[in-house]
Amino acid sequence: MVGNAKSNRIKAYRAMSKLGYDSKVVKPVLNSLLEVYEQNWELIQDEDYAVLVDAVLESEDSKLKESRRFHLIDEPEGEEPPPKKVRSTSRTDEALTWGGVSSSSSDWQKDEPLHDVMKVTSESVREEKLATSAHCYVILGDTEDEIDTPMQRCPEREQKGSSYYSSSEFAQTKKSHLFSPEGSYESDPLSAQPLPDDDFNEYNSPSVHKLVNETHNLKACQENVRGLPDTMSEPRPLAIVHPDHARSSIQSNYSNAKRNFSTSPKVTELNTKDGSSSTKGPLLLGYHPKPKYSAIDEESSWNGSRLDIASSCQGEVKLSVTFQSSLPSNFRVPSLDAVLKRMEEKYVEAYNITRQDFSIVKLMNEICETFLATGIMSSGNERVSCAELQPDPITSRDLGGQVVSNHVANTAGVYIDPPRFRFLNGLDFSQSKIGLPMKLSGSYCDIYLEGLRNQSSSTAEIMVVAQHAFPNMIESVCLVDDITTGEEDVKISLINEINNEGQPLFKYITRNIVYRDAHVKFLLARISDDNCGSHCFGDCLMAELPCACAGETGGEFAYVPGGLLKEKFLEDTILMKSSPQKTNFFYCQECPLEKPTSKSLSGVCKGHLIRKFIKECWYKCGCTMACGNRVVQRGINRKLQVFMTKEKGWGLRTLEDLPKGAFVCEYVGEIVTNTEMFDRNSRSIGKKHTYPVLLDADWSTEGVLKDEEALCLDATLFGNVARFINHRCYDDNLVEIPVEVETPDHHYYHLAFFTNREVHASEELTWDYGIDFDDHTHPVEAFRCRCESESCRDLEKGNVGIKLLTL
Ligand X SMILES: C[S@@+](CC[C@H](N)C(=O)[O-])C[C@H]1O[C@@H](n2cnc3c(N)ncnc32)[C@H](O)[C@@H]1O
Binding site for ligand X (CB under 6 A): 504, 648-650, 688-691, 723-724, 726-727, 783-787
Using left for φ > 0, alpha for ψ between -120 and 50, and beta otherwise, residue 762 falls in left
Q: Minimum distance from CB of 221 to ligand X (Å)?
A: 48
Indicate the residue among 150 and 426 with the shorter CB distance to ligand X.
Answer: 426
Q: Minimum distance from CB of 649 to ligand X (Å)?
A: 3
Indicate the residue among 383 and 723 with the shorter CB distance to ligand X.
Answer: 723
Handedness of CA 674, 678, 683, 686 (dihedral sign): positive
Indicate the residue among 663 and 691 with the shorter CB distance to ligand X.
Answer: 691
Q: How far apart are CA 795 and CA 330, in angstroms?
A: 74
Indicate the residue among 618 and 783 with the shorter CB distance to ligand X.
Answer: 783
Neighbours of 189 (CB within 10 A): 18
Indicate the residue among 446 and 788 with the shorter CB distance to ligand X.
Answer: 788
Q: How far apart are CA 74 and CA 435, in angstroms?
A: 62
Instruction: Point out the residue whose Cβ comes nearest to ligand X.
Output: 649
Q: How far apart are CA 354 and CA 279, in angstroms?
A: 36
Q: Minimum distance from CB of 478 to ligand X (Å)?
A: 18
Indicate the residue among 61 and 794 with the shorter CB distance to ligand X.
Answer: 794
Neighbours of 664 (CB within 10 A): 23
Q: Minimum distance from CB of 472 to ligand X (Å)?
A: 23
Indicate the residue among 340 and 725 with the shorter CB distance to ligand X.
Answer: 725
Q: Minimum distance from CB of 616 to ligand X (Å)?
A: 24
Q: Minimum distance from CB of 490 to ligand X (Å)?
A: 20
Single-letter amino acid, residue 650: W
Q: Minimum distance from CB of 263 to ligand X (Å)?
A: 33
Indicate the residue among 618 and 667 with the shorter CB distance to ligand X.
Answer: 667
Task: List residues bridging with 460 in a β-sheet.
Answer: 453
Q: Which of 221, 288, 213 is nearest to 256 (CA)?
A: 221
The β-bridge relationship of strands 711-714 and 692-694 is antiparallel
Q: Minimum distance from CB of 805 to ligand X (Å)?
A: 7
Indicate the residue among 73 and 642 with the shorter CB distance to ligand X.
Answer: 642
Indicate the residue among 52 and 785 with the shorter CB distance to ligand X.
Answer: 785
Q: Which value, in Å, is the radius of gyration of the alpha carbons in the chain?
A: 35
Q: For 661-727, give the secondary structure using H, E and C.
A: CCEEEECCCEEEEHHHHHHHHHHCCCCCCCCEEECCCCHHHHCCCCHHHCEEEECCCEECHHHHCEE
The β-bridge relationship of strands 459-463 and 451-454 is antiparallel
The β-bridge relationship of strands 764-767 and 726-727 is parallel
Q: How far apart are CA 245 and CA 114, in angstroms?
A: 21
Handedness of CA 497, 500, 506, 508 (dihedral sign): positive
Q: How far apart are CA 671 and CA 714, in angstroms?
A: 7
DSSP letter at 531? T
Using left for φ > 0, alpha for ψ between -120 and 50, and beta otherwise, residue 99 falls in left
Indicate the residue among 293 and 506 with the shorter CB distance to ligand X.
Answer: 506
Q: Minimum distance from CB of 483 to ligand X (Å)?
A: 12
Indicate the residue among 92 and 690 with the shorter CB distance to ligand X.
Answer: 690
Q: Minimum distance from CB of 762 to ligand X (Å)?
A: 18
Q: Minimum distance from CB of 765 to ligand X (Å)?
A: 11
Q: How far apart are CA 690 and CA 670, in angstroms?
A: 13
Q: Minimum distance from CB of 784 to ligand X (Å)?
A: 6
Q: What is the DSSP string of 286-299?
A: ---SSTT--SSSS-
* CB proximity list for 148: less than 8 A, separation 6 or greater: 141, 222
Indicate the residue among 620 and 689 with the shorter CB distance to ligand X.
Answer: 689
Q: Minimum distance from CB of 226 to ligand X (Å)?
A: 47
The CA distances from residue 807 to 396, 585, 591, 634, 797, in Å, are 36, 11, 14, 24, 21
Single-letter amino acid, residue 699: W
